[in-house]
Structure 1
Amino acid sequence: MKPWSSLALLSILVPSALCISNYSATCTIPAGNGSDDAPAIRQAFHDCGNGGHIVFQQNTTYNVDTVLQLHNLSNVQIDLLGTILFSTDVRYWIQHGSFYWFQNISIALEFSGDNITIDGHDTGIIDGQGQVWYDLALAIGGLYGRPIPFSLRNAKNSVAKNFHIKQSGKWNFVIIESQNITADNIVLTSLSDDYQANPGNLGNTDGFDTLYSDDIRIQNSYIDSGDDCVSLKPGSTNIQITNLTCVNTAGIAVGSLGQYEGQFDLVENVTATNVTLIGSRNGAYVKTYMGKRTYYPPQGGGNGTGAVRNVAFSNFNIQNITAAPVLLQQCSHWAGWDVPACADYPSTGFTFQNITWTNFTGWSNEEVGTEEVSLACSPKSTCVDLSFSGIDVKPYNGSAATYTCTNVDGLSSGCQAANVTTDS
């Protein structure tokens, strides 16, 4: 029998994965036939997930109808050459997605382990078929069960690169409780059919999210997602963001923090540089919940505490922004009925220290007016060493830009250096 015949026979006898001797083992996942390919994918990761090589074939669509929890991986190379296509079975995903407690998020595909490399070689695609979720949620970001199509969860020393995530049901790419992660050359697009008529229909389709993770690099990527381009959520430390293009997003965000009453949220040691924002709602901004819980997470919340320290935003090119490019606000809240005024319940117990915005250029549209800098700290928070320089985002009508600073130590209401008196 010829060698290729032996391989063909093996693929018939072992339909879950074709294992060829290379690495410790190589598993090429067979082409799907329209049924759920998740069992074959799970088998490949079982057989080759430790020291092995796993291949999603090029020009092949893998239908995924059931959740993929690919855990306990080690020293594995994953070549995502084809397309992973998630089902639109709303009932299934609401009932069976991989649950994580923060904002009750649900994950459709997650990887965990040590030394994982996922390489799409510029052909790999993960398709969340999110339109069904956009139509169902109608911008309710916290609607239970909206599936996240890609997560590194409890992973370390790992790389994800060179692939495209499209039409995510919720956040696109989330890193949870992980360390030493690189996301490189990733394309994220979530585009609702009726975006032009109803741009808010997407709701919570963030590009990248980090959560309780350390030593993260997000670089060389393109995001057109309808919500935050990158959102650094609680526990995000030592984060580097470099060379991003963000289209129709809400900008680069720290937060929202303080959503969970009585919980302390920390974000520190962050750099974000060389970022282009096109049609963005915000620039580089920090946001926290107000100082009174209104309803409960995932939609509601508030009255948490926290700290944001050592954050540097630099070299932002901003085109057609609709809010102040330099922004700190402490008034996130549930947008339902009977919401108290932020002034009545200001955020309490937050510290903002050593946050800088440097070299922002571009232009804003008529919705923002002339506001260029807006730093609104709560009177019950501590804001020290906040500074900006080289901010040149021109108002659409050529008017002089305005600056507003509230409760920022060392800055006047017009954001000019103020006299600081210290006790001797």
Structure 2
Amino acid sequence: MWPAAILLALAAAAPASAAMVKDGSTCIVTPLSTTPAAVAARSIGAVAPTERDLDPADSPDGDSALWAAQDPRPLGRYPRAEPGSGRAAPVVARRVDDEDPVVAGPVPRQNRVDDTPQILSAFSQCGKNGVIILREGTYYIRQVMDTTSLSNVSIEIYGTLVWSADNLSYWRQKSFSVTYAGRQTAWRIGGRDIAMRGFGKAVFDGNGQAWIDLARGQGNLDGRPISLTVWQGTNVFIDGITWRMAQFWHTFIAHSQNVTMTNLDMNTFSTSGQSSVNTDGTNTWNSKDITISNWTVKCGDDCIAVKGNSSNVHISNVVCRESGAMTVGSVGSNSNQPDYVENVVFENITAIHSSNAAWIKTYPGRGYVRNITFRNIRFEDVNQPIYVTSCIYSYQNCDSSRLAITDVRWENITGTSRYNVAAGIHCSSAAPCDGFHFSGIDIKPKNGGTAKVLCSNIKNQASSGLTCTGPCPGSHPQQLSGNV
């Protein structure tokens, strides 16, 4: 690898007229929208429509089309479609650095820029024993990206990647399967010895409002893509990237080992009346030796979730807003295939206005959850801070589950609950929880009074360090709507 100073000099010297140049083992990519050739092509309408530009309004599922704004910088809000037109009406939107409003209207179909081909070319030519540099500027991503054969590569991203939202049917049909629960992803990255750095400059913009409005509160809309998936990766390092308005989950770690993700900023929320459910920060699955540190996440679902067959996971220094904070699960959803989760530490976590803080959710399945630590969890206005269930979502067959939950520690769990329940713990009577330990628990209802602790089927509960004030039925919900 070349020294960073030399690589930066090469990137600065790369000709702006070329979309991608290769110098030895280094590939330098420039946004097409900034090259003179692209500007000329757009001015004469020379870019022909392709399969990815099929109008979603013409598809059987009737997706509404959202058209990109003429100005590449983010607008204050997304345009809504005119009734019956399938196209968005021009809107007046204000950028933070503008004194006067900018009128944003539909971009003619033939003028759309697609930076995907030159990015994929860079990965193809420099993805082994090389360096890939995406210079500053805005890259428009209109196609799926599968970069899963990487080896000993450094990826440096200085620009903003914007995923298109006017071809939702394309994404739903072409995004790659990640196997888990039928989910899909827009970008898979995998291989060995991979470093992806954003230096605090890289931004991934998924145009998530379009997906939120399309889903209409449906949590798992078929084909709705995860933004970035680490897939069959070993020795992967990701650092310094900002996500804004992800399409679905921000990230996913699957079938991978020794993955470190640090200094990430994620923010996806709805500006319409629709819910931003299932915009998780990340989920791990069938992976081990995972380190997550120094994240800030605002999303409409789990902040960080450790799912089935994950082990040796360490999560620290994370701030979660409007989310599900730290959770193990869901696990055990497939009764024919056991799930195992072990050796997980969540520590130094802040949760603000979240559904839960430190919790475990399982289905009535098979397998085990063991050796889990929640340490130094601080929170404010959390619906139900500590929660354990053996029958998430259905709240049925709660006492028939054989999925054992053992050796779990809650240490220094402090803050305010939204209602008068600090903890709701229901373990299966067929496989009672064992080895639960609590210390430094200080949870107070935000409106005053004493918090209740509801517990059922915990072995040696009297010596666990937690005083239960009443039983917790299997039907006790994850989120409360008031005091109980």
**Normalised TM-score (structure 2):** 0.75
Amino acid at match of 2:429: P
Structure 2 residue 453 is the aligned partner of structure 1 residue 403: yes
Say if 1:98 and 1:347 are closer, same or farther in 2 by CA, change over 3 A. farther
* 2:401 matched residue in structure 1: 348
Alignment partners' CA distance in 2, 1:378 and 1:186: 37
SS at match of 1:381: coil
Hey, what does 2:389 align to over in structure 1? 329
Superposition RMSD in Å:
2.1
Measure, in 2, the Cα distance between the counterparts of 1:250 and 1:397.
21
Cα distance in structure 2, aligned partners of 1:411 and 1:388: 10
Higher strand share: 1
Q: Residues 48-59 of structure 1 correspond to what in structure 2 (within 5 A)?
A: 48-58=126-136
Contact 1:16 1:39 in 2 (8 A): no
Task: Show the 5 A alignment for 1:292-307.
Answer: 304-307=365-368
Describe the shift of the 1:39–1:310 C-alpha distance in structure 2 as closer, same or farther (beyond 3 A): same
Stretches of 4+ aligned residues off by more than 4 angstroms? 412-415
Amino acid at match of 2:186: A
Instruction: Identify the match of residue 376 of structure 2 among 315, 322, 325.
Output: 315
Distance in 2 of aligned mates of 1:354 and 1:36:
51
Contact 1:221 1:243 in 2 (8 A): yes
Q: Would the aligned equivalents of 1:99 and 1:106 in 2 still touch at CA under 8 Å?
A: yes
Tell me which of 18, 22, 30 is aligned to 2:21: 18
The answer to whether the Cα contact below 8 Å between 2:398 and 2:428 also exists between their aligned partners in 1 is: no
1:247 aligns with 2:325: no
Query: Are the aligned partners of 1:283 and 1:321 in contact in 2 as well (CA < 8 Å)?
Result: yes
Output the CA distance in 2 between the equivalents of 1:205 and 1:381.
Answer: 32
Match of 1:357 among 385, 410, 414: 410
**C-alpha displacement of 1:139:** 2.1
Give the distance between the partners of 1:177 and 1:149, measured in 2 at CA. Answer: 17
**Structure 1 SS opposite 2:170:** helix
Corresponding residue for residue 3 of structure 2:
none
Q: Paired residue for 1:84, among 140, 161, 164?
A: 161
CA distance in 2, matches of 1:354, 1:386: 6
1:385 correspondence with 2:463: no
Measured in 1, the distance between the counterparts of 2:30 and 2:437 equals 55
Q: Is the 8 A contact 2:407 2:436 kept in 1?
A: yes
Match of 1:115 among 189, 193, 208: 193
1:126, 1:396 → 2: CA distance?
36
Q: Percent of counterpart pairs with the same letter?
A: 33
Residue 353 of structure 1, CA deviation: 1.0
Q: 2:211 aligns with which of 119, 128, 133?
A: 133
Where in structure 2 are the equivalents of 1:132-281 lying within 5 Å?
132-194=210-272, 201-281=275-355
- 8 Å Cα contact 2:250-2:266 kept in structure 1: yes
Q: Aligned with 1:169: secondary structure?
A: coil
Letter in 2 for 1:26: T
Which digits, 9 at most, give the CA deviation of each residue in 1:213-262, with x for residues without a partner? 00000100100011100011111100000000001101211001111121
Partner Cα distance (1:206, 1:71) in 2: 23
Aligned partners of 2:438 and 2:466 also within 8 Å: no
In structure 1, what residue type is equivalent to 2:189?
Answer: F
Name the aligned partner's letter for residue 379 of structure 2: I
Aligned partner of 2:322: which letter?
A: N
CA gap of 1:381–1:52, structure 2 versus 1, over 3 A, is: same
Q: Shift of residue 384 of structure 1?
A: 0.5
Q: Structure 2 residue aligned with 1:62, among 120, 126, 139? A: 139
Q: Residue 32 of structure 2: SS of its match in structure 1?
A: coil
Match of 1:332, SS state, is coil
Could you tell me whether the CA contact under 8 Å between 1:139 and 1:204 is conserved in 2?
no
- Matched residues, number: 378
CA distance in 1, matches of 2:369, 2:14: 56
Aligned residues of 2:227 and 2:251 also touching (Cα < 8 A): yes
What CA distance in whole angstroms lies between the structure 2 residues aligned with 1:175 and 1:87?
A: 23
Is 2:391–2:398's contact at 8 Å kept on the other side of the alignment?
no
Task: Using the TM superposition, give the Cα deviation of residue 168 of structure 1 relative to its aligned residue in structure 2, in angstroms.
Answer: 1.1
User: Which residue is equivalent to 1:27?
Assistant: 27
- The 8 Å contact of residues 402 and 428 in structure 2, kept in 1 or not, is answered as no
- Shift in Å at residue 345 of structure 1? 5.3
| CA contact 2:353–2:381 (8 Å) conserved in 1 | yes
- Cα distance between partner residues in 2 of 1:278 and 1:254: 19
2:69 corresponds to which residue?
A: none
Quick one: which amino acid aligns to residue 326 of structure 1?
I
Report how far residue 400 of structure 1 moved. 1.6
What residue in structure 2 maps to residue 74 of structure 1? Answer: 151
Residue 7 to residue 90, structure 1, CA distance change in 2 (3 Å): closer
- Tell me the amino acid that sits aligned with residue 17 of structure 1: M
With structure 1 as the length reference, what TM-score do the two structures score?
A: 0.85
| Partners of 1:27 and 1:44 within 8 A in 2 | yes
The one-letter code sitting in structure 2 at the alignment partner of 1:364 is: S
The answer for unaligned runs of 5 or more in structure 1 is 292-303, 335-340, 418-424
3-state SS of the aligned residue for 1:399?
A: coil
For 1:338, the equivalent position in structure 2 comes to: none
After superposition, what is the alpha-carbon deviation per residue over 1:31-72, rounded to whole angstroms, capped at 9, x for unaligned?
A: 2234211111111011111111111111x1111111000121
CA distance in 1, matches of 2:450, 2:231: 47
Q: Give the conservation status (yes or no) of the 8 Å contact 2:438–2:465.
A: no
Instruction: Give the Cα–Cα distance (whole angstroms) in 1 for the partners of residues 321 and 201 of structure 2.
Output: 22
Which residue identity is paired with 2:133? Answer: V
- Provide the C-alpha distance between the structure 2 equivalents of 1:19 and 1:26, rounded to a whole number of angstroms: 6
In 1, the alpha carbon distance for the partners of 2:402 and 2:328 equals: 17
